[in-house]
Structure 1
Amino acid sequence: MTEAPLVSVERVTRRFDSPPAPAAVDDVSLEIRRGEMVAIVGRSGSGKSTLLQLIGALDEPDAGEISIGGVPLAGLSERERTALRRERLGFVFQSSHLVPTLSIAENVALTAIVAGERRRSWGPRADELLRHLELGTRGRDRPVELSGGERQRVALARALFARPEVLLADEPTGALDTATASRVHTLLRSAVGAGTSSVVIVTHDLETACIADRLIVLRDGRVTADRSFTPPGIGHEEVRAHEERVRRWLAEHR
């Protein structure tokens, strides 16, 4: 029996201006399976971030239906939407949105702290994630002491901390250098490695798009192309060849 999609988007439209102005998201339908990493790409203003916010229950469509794990978002109260976001979703935005009065480690483990857990239960995982992102010595610092790129890494660690079913990331490597972006790619791949979570990335970056199993192209709010790719091996030539295939495909469909 085929497993139901983890994310289902059915004929979703979102408008910010009345017709004849175009919709930000226009009659979009797609499904995302558990264990899938999907990159949503397109030019600026194509509707990528709006679609991500709709999937994340941060905005509501004007038409159509969205379900997460079989739960329709339509009709949920604000309290129920908040609970769904907290329990099933993880977010990485272009702005890190860290709590300035908390330490870096506390920001990473924010969901556990809000739930009343003590540091001995959440500390080891927070420390492990920070080490993976080359921030192992910064756990006691405050966000103001970090650079923009470091704060973005903390935001990613926070999103991964609770092992969300769906991780939604808007330009997760946009403020990072090449080496740090590579570490972020590894963490994102590990999030789907066990097959229990899905990752949805909005990105302009070719190397970030290339780590995805599937690419979805948006143009003027509509899906114009959708293709699955087999991730490359670890060899340098394989990776370069894969990037070239993806680059050519994107050039044809953007």
Structure 2
Amino acid sequence: MDKRIATLAEAVADIQDGASIMIGGFGGSGTPIELIHALIDRFVATGSPKCLTVINNNAGNGHVGLAAMIKQGMVATMVCSFPRSSDPKMFTEKYMAGEIELQLVPQGTLAERIRAGGAGIPAFYTPSSFGTDLAKGRPVMEFEGRSYVMERWLKADFALIKAELGDSHGNLTYHMAARNFSPLMAMAGHRTVVQVSRIVAPGEIDPETVITPGIFVNAVVEVANPAQEEELNRTGVRYP
């Protein structure tokens, strides 16, 4: 029941070449910067993991976090809604060079595909993307006179997320908007690894405030003063 992990390096040690990874965050809000950077550190030291499929709301900003992963050449496929956000230079360069694949998914559809993956729902229908290039080749059905596109569930080998409080059993709370995709990704990841600002003893979190129950969490590592993506980019940080 004790899911505490001592170090960030240990927390990401099981991620291997070719893995699929969901990374929480909405822009910089809720982005697990330290877990991402620990994965980059391992790649720099060993050349692994690479050829990753990453599922995130965007494709990174600046030269830190997910953007730094892309810059290192670790990511083969990017599944996201907003590949061109405030400073997507790293992704844009790789994409224009043909070095990374993009799977574009409308934001609401992305969230629902992840939710479906966690809930065990293989597919669902949505009107989003009907009549656009994104719907080409996908089954279409008509319901009550409106056309809907079939979308499949989305699951991943790993989910890397950031929470506010976590107990040793993996029960989690989030800080305001940092909640975003993370509870859904925790359910849809085969192994969910969480960085939290503080680990507390079981019972210290009011059960009524738990957002992600520990049943969906495999590992918790404490990061007392987590970095914020926007602040790192404002100060010109380039990782590694």
Same fold (TM over 0.5): no
Higher strand share: 2
Higher helix share: 1
TM-score of the pair, normalised by structure 2: 0.27
TM-score of the pair, normalised by structure 1: 0.26
